[in-house]
């Protein structure tokens, strides 16, 4: 084998290995997180009973935790007790917790909350507009929004209680 | 297909072409609408490029066209148009609403790319590292053709000289290869030697042929 063969082999193999190495370093199923650090999209949504509406603009100056969930979602049921506990701990300190029902009926959401308990209001999102505005791909997804209205963190899947606590403590 | 059905399909195709080109026919506007809306609905940064659409066939055709270019965020390997997943159905419903409002394909894709990144497009844009996807196949074809060309060139050049010798470090080209065909070099394989019986049979055939041709007698002197 002479140097020309080696050079030709390297010319083909090195770019291939480089491209594959870049690909192996990523989870092909993970969606890119493009919302963190950006201004949280506005929403104006009503609760499950349609009795009270919530507007993000009116919550300016307070940290907001926005949790997208569904009654049919198993990981949502898993994180529910953690969310209740965190809400009970931080709502008295000025953090606003809001749930948004995703791809589900109000009646199912109410039944879930009756069964599993609740500590904060859940809102209806007709047509899933707010979910799409926030780039939600599935549930649960939870957005931590700063008092200035910036998305500080996005949890994909169940929240990590320790990280949530750390984020809220940093904002208070 | 009936003439009416064919006509509706043709009309739908023409309207789809117009809408995808970024415009809408004036007669597609509802009564009282003179142009695109000047304000954007909540969640969108800019107003629609065109007037609202009213023809259901056109709306459905544009919705299908746009959603077939977007990736389902749940099943990922399928387009929003094909996927039955809840997330994809939500996206398709939103696309239908935006199309009805007069948003064109580019505006709708921009909206989803803004929320999900370019990942949401089934055909990645030709920019940054994505160039690899577009350039690599062409590069490999060029490399392959080059390698084939080099191999052929080497074969053609390696032809034995008059003594049957080849350059040092090379093998003589076998009979019937591109080398002998291209150069006409006499590199034909000699026929195998016959046995004594074979030689006798061959000789009898030769004499028979000569006899039939009248060439077996010496020429008479005139």
Structural domains in chain A, sorted by start: 35-171 (3.40.30.10)
Interchain proximity B90–A34, CB inside 8 Å? no
Cβ within 8 Å, pair A32-B74: no
Determine the distance from the C-alpha atom of residue A157 to the mean position of all C-alpha atoms in its chain, rounded to a whole number.
7
Please say if the pLDDT value at position B169 is more than 80.
no
Give residue B154's pLDDT band: very low, low, confident or very high (50, 70, 90).
confident
Chain A residues closer than 8 Å to B135 by CB: none
Our CA dihedral for B18, B21, B23, B25, rounded to 10 degrees, sits at: -10
Cβ-proximal residues to B21 (8 Å cutoff; 6+ apart), any chain: none
Q: What is the pLDDT along chain A (172 residues), one digit of tens a residue?
A: 588 888 988 988 898 888 788 777 777 677 888 999 999 999 999 999 999 999 999 999 999 999 999 999 999 999 999 999 999 999 999 999 999 999 999 999 999 999 999 999 999 999 999 999 999 999 999 999 999 999 999 999 999 999 999 999 999 9
Find the residue in A nearest to B131 (Cα).
Answer: A19
Q: At residue B147, does pLDDT exceed 70?
A: yes
Query: What confidence score (pLDDT) does residue B86 get?
Result: 87
pTM: 0.69
- The answer to whether A42 contacts B42, with C-beta atoms less than 8 Å apart, is yes
Give the per-residue pLDDT at A136: 95
**Measuring CA to CA, which residue among A53, A52, A51, A43 is closest to residue A131?**
A43
Q: How confident is the prediction for chain B on average, in pLDDT?
A: 75
* Cβ atoms of residues A86 and A55 within 8 Å: no
CB of B151 within 8 Å of a chain A CB? The answer is no
Q: What sign for the dihedral angle of Cα A51, A53, A58, A63?
A: positive
Burial class (CB in 10 A: 0-12, 13-18, 19+), B54: middle
A34: closest CA among A171, A149, A137, A166? A137
What pLDDT, on the 0 to 100 scale, is given for residue B194?
81
pLDDT, greater one: B216 or B37: B216
Q: Is B6 on the interface with A (CB under 8 A)?
A: no
At A140 the pLDDT is 96
Picking from A137, A140, A151 by the largest number of B CB atoms within 10 A of its own CB, the best residue to mutate is: A137
Residue A84 in tokens: 């209740």
Q: List chain B residues with CB under 8 Å of A44.
A: 42
What is this model's ipTM?
A: 0.87
Taking phi first (over 0 means left), then psi (-120 to 50 degrees means alpha), and beta for anything else, what does residue B62 get?
Answer: alpha
Interface of A with B (CB under 8 A): 8, 11-12, 15, 19, 22, 29, 31-32, 34-35, 41-44, 103, 127-138
Q: pLDDT above 90 covers what percent of chain B?
A: 33
The alpha carbon of residue B144 is apart from the nearest alpha carbon of chain A, in Å, by 10
Say yes or no to pLDDT of B160 above 70. Answer: no
Residue A91 DSSP code: G
| Nearest-angstrom CA–CA distance, B99 and B64 | 10
Write the pLDDT tens digit of every residue in B170-213.
555 555 554 445 454 455 566 778 888 888 999 999 999 988 88
| Residues B78-112: tens digit of each pLDDT | 999 999 998 899 999 999 999 999 999 999 999 99
- Contact criterion met (CB below 8 Å) for B87 and A102: no
The pLDDT value given to residue B39: 64
- CA distance, residue B204 to nearest chain A CA (Å): 56
B55 or B28, which is more confident: B55
Does the pLDDT of residue B71 top 80, yes or no? yes
Q: Positive or negative, the Cα torsion across B14, B17, B20, B25?
A: negative
B43 contacts A129? CB cut-off 8 A: yes
Please report the sign of the dihedral spanned by the C-alpha atoms of residue B49, residue B86, residue B17, residue B13: negative
**Candidates A129, A136, A138, partner chain B, best to mutate (most B CBs within 10 A):** A129
Chain A contact for B116 (CB, 8 A cutoff): yes
pLDDT for A38: 96
Element (DSSP H or E) covering residue A100: strand A96-101
Distance from B86 to chain A by nearest Cα, in Å?
A: 7
| pLDDT for the residue B219 | 58
Cross-chain CB nearest to B91 (options A11, A32, A132): A132
Burial of residue B60 (CB within 10 Å: 0-12, 13-18, 19+) is middle
pLDDT score of B36: 55
As a whole number of angstroms, the distance between CA B167 and CA A94 comes to 89
> Rounded CA gap, A6 and B159, in Å?
26
């Amino acid at each position: 084998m002479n140097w020309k063969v080696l050079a030709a082999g390297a010319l083909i193999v090195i770019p291939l290995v480089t491209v594959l190495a870049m690909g192996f370093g990523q989870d092909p199923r993970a969606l890119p997180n493009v919302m963190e650090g950006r201004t949280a999209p506005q929403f104006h949504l009503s609760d499950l009973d349609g009795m009270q509406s919530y507007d993000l603009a009116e919550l300016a100056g307070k940290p907001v935790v926005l949790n997208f969930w569904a009654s049919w979602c198993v990981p949502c049921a898993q994180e529910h007790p953690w969310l209740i506990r965190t809400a009970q701990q931080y709502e008295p300190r000025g953090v606003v917790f809001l749930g948004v029902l995703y791809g589900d009926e109000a009646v199912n959401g109410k039944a879930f909350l009756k069964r599993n308990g609740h500590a904060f209001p859940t809102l209806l999102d007709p047509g899933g507009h707010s979910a799409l505005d926030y780039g939600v791909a599935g549930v649960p997804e939870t957005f931590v929004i700063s008092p200035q209205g910036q998305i500080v963190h996005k949890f994909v899947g169940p929240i990590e209680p320790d990280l949530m606590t750390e984020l809220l403590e940093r904002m208070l | 297909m009936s003439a009416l059905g064919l006509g509706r399909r043709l009309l739908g195709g023409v309207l789809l072409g117009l809408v995808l080109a970024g415009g809408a026919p004036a007669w597609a506007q509802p009564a009282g609408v003179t142009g695109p809306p000047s304000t954007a609905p909540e969640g969108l940064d800019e107003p629609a490029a065109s007037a609202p659409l009213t023809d259901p066939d056109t709306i459905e055709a544009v919705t299908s066209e746009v959603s077939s270019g977007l990736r389902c965020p749940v099943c990922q390997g399928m387009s929003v148009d094909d996927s039955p997943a809840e997330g994809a159905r939500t996206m398709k419903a939103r696309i239908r609403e935006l199309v009805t409002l007069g948003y064109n394909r580019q505006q709708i894709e921009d909206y989803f790319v803004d929320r999900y990144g370019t990942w949401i497009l089934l055909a990645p844009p030709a920019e940054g590292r994505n160039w690899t996807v577009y350039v690599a196949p062409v590069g490999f074809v060029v490399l392959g053709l080059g390698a084939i060309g080099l191999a052929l060139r080497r074969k053609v050049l390696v032809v034995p000289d008059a003594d049957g010798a080849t350059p040092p470090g090379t093998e003589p080209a076998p009979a019937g290869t591109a080398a002998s065909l291209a150069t006409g070099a006499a590199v034909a394989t000699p026929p195998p030697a016959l046995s004594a019986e074979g030689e006798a049979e061959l000789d009898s055939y030769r004499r028979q042929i000569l006899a039939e041709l009248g060439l077996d007698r010496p020429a008479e002197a005139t």
